[in-house]
Amino acid sequence: MQTSLQLWVVLTHVSERLTVEVIAMDDIYDLRSLFLGKDSLISSLITTAVEGTPLEESASDLSFLVGTFAVVNIVFLMLFFSQFAILWIERKAVARMNDRRGATTALRSLWVGENGVTAGEWWKMLPFGGSIVGAINKFLNKKFGNRDEKFATVDRVNNRSWMGYSILPGFFQNVADGMKFLLKEHMVPRRADKLIFEVSPFLIVSSTLLILGIIPLSSGIYATNPDLSILYAIAIFGIAPIGVFFAGWSSNNKYTLIGGIRSAAQLTAYEIPLLLTLLSVAILSGTFNIIESIHFQHAAGSWNLFLMPLGAVLFLVTMIAEVERVPFDMPEAEAELVEGWWTEYGGMRFGMLFMAEYIRTYAACFLFTHFFLGGWHLPFQGTISQIPVLGDLYVLIPGAIVVLLKTWLVFLVVFVWARFSLARIRTDQILEFGWRMLLPLSVLQVVLSALYRLYLFQPENMSYTAGGGNAWDAFGVPMLVPLVTTLIWLGVFFVLLNDEDKDAAPDRMYHVYTLQPAGTHTPGKD
């Protein structure tokens, strides 16, 4: 009973925010105070404009209305237009990975060249300089290049990935693609359910755009901050599958129907593990508010990535499945379903669905940054902020820039590399993996988060200052809990990722090795 009561206190506790200490750890660039503060420019202008008129008594309400409108639009435009960066990142990274000949793995093809030469020093063409990228590239090429016989050979063909010397080469191809969709004709299949066919893309896109409304760029740059923003994100992600199924059904096409059914089955299997993973984040942080969970990570002294590595992996896997990207793209599977539930859509309707997929992917990267990478807080911010001069300069870096860089990195490392390094998984394997593996592991993560919060967390060591706290120390050792947790789970992941010999265990789960013709073999049965 006492444990249950403690857990309930953890879940319902709302920390005392907006104190001097919290403000000390906030991003110094506060957009909301600029537009919504009592002494803001908008407030003074509107007060002056309506003075002596019948609207004078409503000056504060008008200021709030105009300020809110301005903040919401600025934040939305920052989020929306920064999305073009991930399209550019994907195009350039894929071009780099495809710039090879012969046996390869997509990961190594980013840095491997011929005889230590990486098809030209392409990092010099990066818009903001690439000396650090070049140094990392040379190190990886030296240590994990073609000289070691245990690695597959990668032969460079040329350097297609960074052609041209202008800033952001190839960036405006995204604009050209959008114009192409706008100019194409929209046609509705003759026997389709026209109403549902037309409404489904708008349902998918609108639900996707609603996610951007709760994503903060920093503690002072956000559109809205509901107390239950984590639950709101879960609810919004659950709306899109309805539109996907309706789109597949209303097209009156066997391929779209099969794609819609696959999507509904897949998203159902992965929605529950995703919900439980986000619940574990809420339990560990003691709040259902995104901004408060970010503050918690800094105030406690450790990012959630190091406290719940399993939760981070579960979140990424389930989100890849939610946005239906490789290797979980069976609902679209162009090799067998033409284009899945997208098949009958053309013109801007197709463009809207294409845009919705990337917005959902972008939102997933943002949420991972906030839930597991400390949001706008810089790495080692608590330590570096104590160094004279350097600490002051370190804190001056805008939180929005930090969030965007982390988000773009997550997109590159996870979503791009996964798409071009992994093969598509069979539908039955996707469902089996979700129900039999991810669901039990997500329940385990909820239990671990509750145990960590109840028995390993030291609330008296929390500190809402620029330096942060040390709530995860143990036995007098700084950061012992996250260090031990990370090492244990890295060992577990290493064991699980090293697959056994396929001939040694032919009956293991997800077995795909067979000599029988397709359709005559049941995995694990014969």
- Report domain extents, the chain: 2-82, 86-156+167-183, 193-497
Q: What is the DSSP letter of 186?
A: P
Helix-strand-coil split of the chain, %, nearest 5: 60, 0, 35
Tokens of 162: 């960074």
Taking the C-alpha atoms of residue 162 and residue 170, their distance in angstroms, rounded to an integer, is 9
Neighbours of 407 (CB within 10 A): 27
Q: Is 28 exposed, middle or buried (0-12, 13-18, 19+ CB in 10 A)?
A: middle
Q: What is the reported pLDDT for 516?
A: 54
Q: Are 382 and 467 in contact (CB under 8 A)?
A: yes
What letter represents residue 149's amino acid?
A: E
Taking the C-alpha atoms of residue 359 and residue 373, their distance in angstroms, rounded to an integer, is 20
DSSP notation for 461-503? G---STT---TT-BTTBTTHHHHHHHHHHHHHHHHHHSPPPTT
- pLDDT digit string, tens, across residues 254-289: 778 887 778 778 888 888 899 899 999 999 999 999
Supply φ then ψ for residue 378, to 5 degrees: -75, 155
Taking the C-alpha atoms of residue 347 and residue 182, their distance in angstroms, rounded to an integer, is 6
Q: Are 200 and 243 in contact (CB under 8 A)?
A: yes
Q: What is the reported pLDDT for 335?
A: 65
Question: The tokens 């297609």 sit on which residue?
Answer: 160
Q: Which one, of 421, 488, 407, 508, lies nearest residue 448 by Cα?
A: 488
Regions of the chain short of the pLDDT cut 50: 1-24, 510-511, 514
Torsion angle defined by CA atoms of residues 320, 513, 262 and 192, in that order, rounded to the nearest 10 degrees: 120
Element (H, E) at 12: helix 2-12
- pTM of structure: 0.82
Torsion angle defined by CA atoms of residues 345, 348, 352 and 358, in that order, rounded to the nearest 10 degrees: 100
- pLDDT digit string, tens, across residues 383-417: 677 777 776 776 777 888 889 999 999 998 888 88
Taking the C-alpha atoms of residue 503 and residue 400, their distance in angstroms, rounded to an integer, is 51
Q: Per the omega criterion (within 30 degrees of 0), is the bond before 189 cis?
A: no
Answer left, alpha or beta for residue 345, where phi above 0 means left and psi between -120 and 50 means alpha: beta
Taking the C-alpha atoms of residue 224 and residue 401, their distance in angstroms, rounded to an integer, is 19
Tokens of 486: 């990370």
For residue 145, give the 3-state DSSP assignment: coil
Q: Which one, of 379, 369, 371, 360, lies nearest residue 407 by Cα?
A: 369
456-to-173, 285, 295, 459, 473 alpha-carbon distances in Å: 51, 13, 19, 10, 8
Q: What is the reported pLDDT for 159?
A: 61
| b/e burial code for range 443-453 (CB count within 10 A of at least 16 → b) | eebbebbbebb
Q: What is the DSSP letter of 108?
A: G
Taking the C-alpha atoms of residue 315 and residue 99, their distance in angstroms, rounded to an integer, is 31
